[in-house]
Amino acid sequence: MLGERGHEAYPVTLTGMGDRVHLASESVGMDTAVQDVLNVIKFNDLNKFVLVGHSFAGKVAAAVADRAHDKVEKVVYVDAFRPERVTTPQGGFDPSGEFGPPPKGSLGIPLTEAIIDRIGKDVQGSNRTWMMSMATPWPLKLAKDPITLSKNYDRVKEAYVFCSQSGDPVDEIIAGKWGKLEGPYKVIDSGHWPMITKPRELAEGLAALAR
């Protein structure tokens, strides 16, 4: 749908997830994820582009923008981790406290019906069946690893997409209770996966925020 508006999109599958799940290991964490994105930038010769991070990948996007600040025009955080403009480690946490421990022998936390019902209950019917069939575990190390930004990130422009049904206090976030917003925003009436339930509205929002 972004293509319909004249935009090129370069989706990134992080190592250890999706069709690269076979590469998951105990050593695959944020360093690898950041390099995954930097490689897409390098080998597609991208410059002055908008970088989009969804969910925990807001942390990846922030670290990439810090490293490639001369190439990234703006970062859009879609229902995502939003970095503070500090130079101390941030963003690391143990998700097992929120989602329960991973299955024995697993390196990640699987997507479950309970998780969808909590943060994305609008994913229903064939959409839910498809998403569950394609989901791979969220590697623990990606959650636990913090990122450390430099002063370079101070020059990065930000924008945000908030999802009203994902469980976050959107009104409080917009009001600045959870940290100052550094750019424009759009609110979508959806759960955590608007790319599935509201793809056209998300594409329109991204196009508008990119300007």
For each of the domains in the chain, give its residue range(s) and CATH number, in order of start.
3-210 (3.40.50.1820)
Say if residue 96's pLDDT is above 90.
no
Q: How far apart are CA 52 and CA 69, in angstroms?
A: 14
Collect all residues with Cβ–Cβ distance below 8 Å to 4 and sequence separation of at least 6. Answer: 203
Instruction: Give the span between the Cα atoms of 104 and 70, in whole angstroms.
Output: 43
Residue with the two structure tokens 């969808």: 116
| Pairing mode of beta strands 72-78, 158-163 | parallel
Question: CA neighbours within 13 Å on the CB side: how many for 64?
Answer: 31
Q: What is the pLDDT of residue 99?
A: 86
Confidence of residue 69 (pLDDT cuts 50, 70, 90): very high
Computed over every residue of the chain, the mean pLDDT equals 95
- pLDDT at residue number 42: 97
pLDDT score at 17: 96
Alpha helices per DSSP H over 15-89: 30-43, 57-67
- Among the listed residues 120, 199, 191, 205, the one whose alpha carbon sits nearest the alpha carbon of residue 160: 205
Per the CB < 8 A criterion, the answer to whether 206 and 52 are in contact is: yes
**Range in 79-83, 101-105, 149-153, 199-203 with the lowest mean pLDDT:** 101-105
Decide: 132 and 48 in contact? Cβ < 8 Å.
no
In this prediction, residues 77-89 reach a mean pLDDT of 97
